[in-house]
Amino acid sequence: MPSLPPIVVFDLDGTLAETAGDLVGTLNAILAREGLPTLPLERARDMIGAGAKALIQRGFEAAGEPIDDARLQTLFVDFLDHYGRHLSEHSYLFPGVETALNMLSARGFLLAVCTNKVEAHAKQLLEELGIAGRFAAICGRDTFPVYKPNPAHITLTVEQAKGDVTRAVMVGDSRADIDAAKAAGIPVIAVPFGYTDLPVEQLGPTRVIQHFDELVGAVDALVPTSAVA
């Protein structure tokens, strides 16, 4: 029986794509509607990374406004509705992403996305950015009963993509990505240009790359090309 192929699993926001403009734009639309001060992109950018609910909570905290679970749930639904209509107005792929994906595919790696964005939005955004077809699986916060930092979010994504979890690599930008991959026993490559409240170097990834030009070499070092069937 042939072995399963190796796989590289990517986070989306802050890893494959700069999405802060549209996420913060949606947060500010919610804050303004609730009569709260909006936030400049530079200040709100590092609030991203733990999902929409956390982003709303952090926006309210910045305004000194308490928010209970019921109100948070209502605003979460409103956030998803607004964001779904403004997914890619200001979002774009980071430099080198498409070349790196092409090179990894040529080396025999499957590609997948594991994101805390809801699945429908992840798929729509990747379609609008022109790369959805590159991935064997696109799994979001609501695809499975768990999500990052639960390690099963990554391992279930690998399973859905029909990849080999023993030859998997995670690429991400946040504590949730790094903690989930480490708990799953999967090496994790971190990028430093995403959304995190601490420098990724302090979060214990296996490797850090500064640009997607370095990704293929980093993946090859963790899953050598000679081991790729």
Say if CB 180 and CB 68 are below 8 A apart. no
CA distance 79 to 105: 35
**Phi, psi (rounded to 5 degrees) for 111:** -125, 145
CA distance 150 to 138: 17
**Looking at the chain, how many residues does it have?**
229
Exposure b/e, 172-211, CB count within 10 A at least 16 = b: bbbbbbbbbbbebebbbbbbebbbbeeebeebebbbbbee
Task: Count CB atoms within 10 A of the CB of residue 75.
Answer: 22
CA distance 6 to 11: 17
Say if CB 13 and CB 195 are below 8 A apart. yes
Q: Which residue has the tokens 């979010």?
A: 153
Instruction: Tell me whether residue 11 is one of the annotated catalytic residues.
Output: yes
In the DSSP assignment, the letter for residue 111 is: E
Residue 116's Cβ-side half-sphere holds a number of Cα atoms within 13 Å equal to: 25
Catalytic residue IDs: 11
